[in-house]
């Protein structure tokens, strides 16, 4: 039986209100995803596997929150593109900062903490004309078959303050495709101009919106945040660079970056009122109902959700998806404030659900409920991310240990200050230590957390700036958050510099980049393929790969060069299963790599790895070269196995 379309689904949903009339048969979410990728593969795009939700080369983000994140260094000109044309479905998480969907999840039909972003990219290949044609053809042809008269397109209407004219080129492209003029609408900077940041690559965008009500034109309703006329696809034309002084200059090379939410598209193609009514969520609701013994999900919102149960179902299902994806990508609670917050909220909601079933241990059963929903998530998403089930099956004790490890100590603190219960993250030993320090030093309401102590909370106890501010507010303490954020930024720069100095092989960025620019980015997806050993440690199976570049004594070596045993060297491989550091903290794996003679297949040496550094997607392993047989290593002969 297909796990994403349980037979029981129709039993609970006898009435379906279709919001779109498309000619295709029912498309499961996995087919919606697959058809998107297949369309672009047929248009000569390369499939680029979704990156981990843990950014491997961007310390400014806790989680990947957009499809373009893994290509950021390509847009910045730091790294070479993986292909001229690319497509994928990228795993994204939004729980904080500018993109924060955490507080609205469950209360409307379309916000999620975890979602998939369908996308296609051009790195200096095609541009506006082809991008618009691809999008229109995919949406209006089989199997999606959306009615053209329900679609609106928008374009950038220009901005006098930036001396930018309207993007009439895009407007004319839509007209030539056949979109009626009253469905091609200009908007300003807020809606139709994309920027990576205060400086850097940017450009106009065009969007496709879908009218769920019908084919009668109502262009005035576009971009009004209406439930029945929603944005579907955003296509960004990256053609400018914003300089530090704010002025724009044309890029030497144009890029295309597009994004369309899988959940929203699936709801549309399945004729559902809500993303939560699709086969991405309904099996999760069935699990919640079965484990809790409560009624099945009814799909009510706002005042119609009289007892609030449907909202709790949505929150738990959504958060279970985020937790499952994060854990499968090796984001662990002890290292992620954001993940701990979501886990804590999930357990609270689970307890609220289970409290309706009298005579049970709410805390224990709530943990089991969350675990069962997470298992179902791995089944629903198995076709796209088969590694999830493999990783998650060994983590069943994680949640119980997480909840129980700090419960006793936390209860003691609550007797001293009951207001601490309001904190969003109590599953944190560092927070307990910070509270203890405040209590032991006699710092009470109205007093100030000094600059040194605030930085200690961040650096020694691992509290985020958000949690430090929250703690200060709850305890009635004053704190200079602007100064703390500045100190954190300075500390990161110090740590980064110290890490770079500590590398046994010191290579300038320019020298390194020029010597490896011909290489592909390192494939580190194998770092997710772990299992638990007999002592509960992580075990990685060995696999073969090849050496791409070797560095020693501040230079890149060439074929014919030799290396002495016990030299400190750096090696770039085509793939790895080592976790790497991005430069903000030395949190990379250690281990060993066996060097193999490519002709005899005999072991000839071992690299004892003590640091692994991610340089814009090129992962270099640093360590001491140890002998096995030969007195030296010929670069031409080496392969490697981890």
Residues 468 and 540 in one domain: no
- The first and second tokens of residue 156, run together, are 């950038």
Residues 202 and 278 in one domain: no
Q: What is the pLDDT of residue 57?
A: 61
Residues 47 and 193 in one domain: yes
DSSP secondary structure of 175-196: HHHT--GGGEEEE-HHHHEEES
Residues 434 and 576 in one domain: no
Q: Which of 72-81, 294-303, 439-448, 534-543 has the lowest mean pLDDT?
A: 534-543
pLDDT at residue 613 is higher than 80 = yes
Report how far residue 18's alpha carbon sits from residue 115's, in angstroms, rounded to the nearest whole number.
23
pLDDT tens, 432-463?
A: 778 878 877 888 788 889 888 888 888 767 67
- Rounded to the nearest integer, the mean pLDDT of the chain is 81
Report how far residue 589's alpha carbon sits from residue 577's, in angstroms, rounded to the nearest whole number.
9
CATH number at residue 121: 3.30.930.10
pLDDT at residue 44 is higher than 90 = yes
Residues 488 and 554 in one domain: no
Residues 128 and 42 in one domain: yes
Residues 497 and 542 in one domain: no
Q: Are 162 and 177 in contact (CB under 8 A)?
A: no
Residues 52 and 121 in one domain: yes
pLDDT tens, 357-390?
A: 765 555 557 778 988 999 999 999 999 998 887 7
Q: What is the pLDDT of residue 363?
A: 53
% of the chain at pLDDT higher than 70: 78
Return the sign of the alpha-carbon dihedral for residues 109, 2, 387, 549. negative
Q: What is the pLDDT of residue 392?
A: 76
Indicate the pTM of the whole model.
0.67
pLDDT tens, 517-539?
A: 677 778 877 776 665 555 555 66
Report how far residue 118's alpha carbon sits from residue 412's, in angstroms, rounded to the nearest whole number.
47
Last residue of a domain, one of 249, 269, 289: 269
pLDDT at residue 430 is higher than 90 = no
Confidence of residue 102 (pLDDT cuts 50, 70, 90): confident
Q: What is the pLDDT of residue 6?
A: 29
CA dihedral 181, 186, 191, 193 (to 10 degrees): 110
CB atoms within 10 A of CB 574: 15
State the total domains in the chain. Answer: 4
Mean pLDDT of the region 331-349: 83
The closest alpha carbon to 83, from 51, 120, 43, 45, belongs to: 45
Confidence of residue 13 (pLDDT cuts 50, 70, 90): very low
Q: Are 451 and 509 in contact (CB under 8 A)?
A: no
Confidence of residue 36 (pLDDT cuts 50, 70, 90): very high
Residues 356 and 342 in one domain: yes
Residue with tokens 């009951």: 418
Last residue of a domain, one of 353, 377, 405: 405
The closest alpha carbon to 8, from 270, 290, 273, belongs to: 290
Residues 32 and 10 in one domain: no
Residues 381 and 359 in one domain: yes
Residues 484 and 375 in one domain: no
Mean pLDDT of the region 234-256: 92
Last residue of a domain, one of 372, 405, 438: 405
Angle between helices 451-459 and 465-474 (to 10 degrees): 130
Q: Are 204 and 155 in contact (CB under 8 A)?
A: yes
Query: DSSP strand E in 533-602: where?
Result: 538-540, 544-552, 555-556, 562-564, 568-573, 591-597
DSSP 8-state code for residue 525: G
Write out the residue range of the structural domain in which residue 46 sits: 18-269
């Amino acid at each position: 039986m297909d796990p994403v379309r349980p037979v029981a689904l129709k039993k609970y949903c006898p009435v379906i209100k279709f919001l779109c009339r498309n000619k295709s048969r029912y498309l499961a979410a996995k087919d919606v995803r697959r058809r998107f990728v297949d369309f672009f593969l047929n248009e000569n795009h390369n499939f680029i596997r979704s990156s981990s939700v843990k950014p491997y080369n961007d310390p400014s983000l806790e989680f990947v929150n957009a499809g373009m994140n893994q290509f950021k260094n390509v847009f910045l000109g730091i790294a070479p593109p993986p292909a001229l044309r690319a497509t994928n479905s990228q795993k994204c998480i939004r729980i904080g900062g500018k993109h924060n969907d955490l507080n609205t999840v469950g209360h409307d039909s379309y916000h999620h903490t975890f979602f998939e972003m369908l996308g296609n990219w051009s790195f200096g290949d095609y541009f506006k004309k082809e991008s618009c044609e691809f999008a229109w053809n995919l949406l209006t042809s089989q199997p999606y078959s959306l009615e053209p008269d329900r679609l609106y397109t928008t374009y950038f209407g220009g901005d006098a303050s930036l001396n930018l004219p309207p993007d009439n080129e895009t407007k004319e492209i839509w007209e030539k495709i056949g979109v009626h003029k009253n469905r091609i609408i200009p908007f300003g900077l807020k809606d139709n101009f994309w920027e990576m940041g205060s400086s850097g690559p940017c450009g106009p965008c065009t969007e496709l919106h879908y009218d769920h009500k019908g084919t009668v034109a109502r262009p005035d309703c576009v971009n009004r945040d209406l439930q029945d006329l929603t944005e579907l696809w955003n296509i960004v034309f990256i053609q400018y660079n914003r300089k530090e002084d704010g002025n724009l200059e044309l890029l030497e090379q144009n890029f295309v970056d597009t994004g369309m939410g899988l959940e929203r598209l699936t709801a549309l193609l399945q004729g559902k009122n809500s993303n939560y009514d699709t086969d991405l969520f309904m099996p999760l609701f069935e699990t919640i109902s079965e484990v809790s013994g409560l009624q099945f999900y009814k799909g009510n919102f706002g005042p119609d959700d009289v007892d609030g149960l449907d909202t709790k179902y949505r929150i738990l299902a959504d958060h279970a998806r985020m937790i499952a994806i994060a854990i499968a990508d090796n984001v662990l609670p002890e290292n992620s404030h954001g993940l701990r917050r979501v886990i804590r909220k999930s357990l609270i909601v689970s307890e609220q659900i289970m409290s309706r079933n009298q005579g049970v241990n709410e805390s224990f059963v709530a943990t089991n409920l969350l675990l069962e929903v997470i298992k179902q998530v791995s089944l629903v998403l198995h076709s796209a991310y088969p590694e999830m089930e493999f990783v998650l099956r060994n983590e069943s004790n994680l949640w119980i240990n997480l909840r129980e490890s700090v419960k006793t100590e936390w209860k003691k603190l609550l007797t001293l200050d009951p207001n601490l219960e309001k904190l969003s993250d109590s599953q944190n030993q560092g927070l307990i230590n910070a509270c203890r320090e405040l209590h032991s030093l006699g710092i009470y309401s109205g007093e100030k957390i000094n600059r040194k102590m605030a930085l200690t909370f961040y650096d020694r106890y691992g509290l985020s700036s958000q949690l430090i501010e929250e703690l200060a507010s709850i305890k009635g303490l004053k704190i200079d958050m602007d100064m703390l954020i500045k100190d954190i930024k300075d500390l990161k720069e110090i740590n980064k510099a110290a890490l770079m100095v500590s590398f046994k092989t010191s290579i300038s960025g320019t020298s390194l980049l020029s010597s490896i620019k011909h290489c592909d980015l390192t494939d580190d997806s194998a770092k997710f393929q772990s299992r638990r050993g007999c002592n509960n440690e992580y075990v990685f199976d060995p696999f073969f790969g090849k050496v791409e570049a070797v560095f020693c004594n501040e230079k890149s070596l060439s074929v014919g060069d030799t290396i002495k045993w016990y030299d400190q060297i750096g090696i770039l491989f085509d793939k790895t299963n080592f976790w790497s550091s991005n430069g903000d903290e030395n949190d990379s794996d250690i281990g060993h790599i066996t060097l193999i003679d490519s002709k005899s297949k005999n072991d000839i040496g071992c690299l004892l790895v003590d640091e692994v550094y991610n340089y814009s997607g090129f992962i270099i392993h640093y360590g001491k070269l140890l002998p096995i047989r030969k007195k030296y290593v010929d670069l031409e002969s080496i392969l490697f196995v981890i």
